[in-house]
């Protein structure tokens, strides 16, 4: 009957459904770097954050470091069950997690009333995951790059966690397609609420790639959102948003 979502910046969320606490794609401490080095791109948090307590599951959409961030994962209890894409599962295993559930698109993880279905996500370069999280009473769709699985059948979703603007690189094209995919998401899921994700947080980026990224429109300029009946929220760090279905 109630969904709670706390934003941790970038791709990170703490989701609570029926007292089930799921940590998603956390980057809470340490810098974000990618091979071959900091000169390519580097992310630095303005403030490091504590790992939330009493977690039931760790959910990883991708194996890239901005989703499966090794310094953060090192600080999480390794006995917490992990639900992850194939590449992210390898990262979790290497770090020492002992209960790993690897999902390919179309596969499900079930635990009592909780069902998590993996959907096809971004090719970075391997196909990663989005997820539909459902308890029978509440439902969430989350995918951090705006890549929509064509095999998903229309259904009502209470909350979308998705980017809502586009980011692109010269020659590579759009790698975050929030604005592009949003019309499809609205039609497919008829959501009550949307939390803008992936690009928020008090983070400083440097490096060559950061200088080449092009942003297409701001969240405030998105006319489709203005015309939609869905409630759009641009979340603030560490603020908990509570969603209840209208009676």
The per-residue pLDDT for range 119-148, each reduced to its tens digit, is 999 999 899 999 999 999 999 999 999 999
Q: Does position 241 have pLDDT exceeding 60, yes or no?
A: yes
Assess whether pLDDT exceeds 70 at residue 217. Answer: no
Number of domains observed in the structure of the chain: 1
What is the CATH number for 96? 3.60.15.10
Name the residue with higher pLDDT: 202 or 84: 84
Q: What is the pTM of this model?
A: 0.94
- The range of the structural domain enclosing residue 107 comes to 2-244
What pLDDT does residue 210 have?
79
Q: What is the pLDDT of residue 35?
A: 83
High-pLDDT (> 90) share of the chain, %: 72
Q: Report the 3 state secondary structure along 207-242.
A: CHHHHHCEEECCHHHCHHHHHCCCEEECCCCCCEEE
Tens-place pLDDT, residues 41-67:
898 999 999 999 999 999 999 999 999
């Amino acid at each position: 009957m109630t969904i709670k979502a706390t934003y941790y910046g970038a791709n990170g969320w703490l989701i609570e459904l029926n007292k089930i606490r799921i940590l998603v794609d956390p980057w809470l401490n340490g810098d974000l770097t990618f091979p071959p080095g900091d000169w390519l791109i580097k992310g630095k948090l303005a403030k490091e954050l504590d790992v939330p307590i009493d977690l039931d599951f760790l959910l990883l959409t991708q194996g890239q470091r901005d989703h499966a961030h090794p310094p953060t994962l090192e600080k999480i209890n390794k006995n917490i069950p992990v639900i992850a894409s194939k590449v992210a599962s390898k990262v979790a295993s290497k770090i020492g997690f002992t209960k790993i559930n690897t999902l390919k698109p179309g596969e499900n993880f079930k635990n009592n009333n909780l069902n998590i279905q993996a959907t096809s996500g971004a090719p970075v370069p391997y196909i990663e995951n989005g997820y539909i999280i459902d308890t029978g009473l509440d439902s969430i769709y989350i995918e951090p790059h705006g890549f929509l699985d064509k095999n998903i059948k229309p259904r009502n979703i209470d909350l979308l966690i998705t980017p809502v603007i586009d980011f692109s690189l010269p020659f590579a094209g759009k790698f975050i397609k929030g604005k592009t995919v949003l019309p499809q998401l609205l039609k497919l899921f008829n959501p009550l609420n949307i939390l803008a994700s992936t690009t928020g947080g008090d983070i400083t980026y440097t490096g060559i790639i950061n200088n080449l990224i092009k942003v297409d429109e701001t969240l405030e300029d998105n006319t489709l959102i203005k015309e939609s009946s869905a409630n759009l929220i641009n979340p603030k760090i560490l603020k908990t948003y509570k969603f209840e279905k209208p009676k």
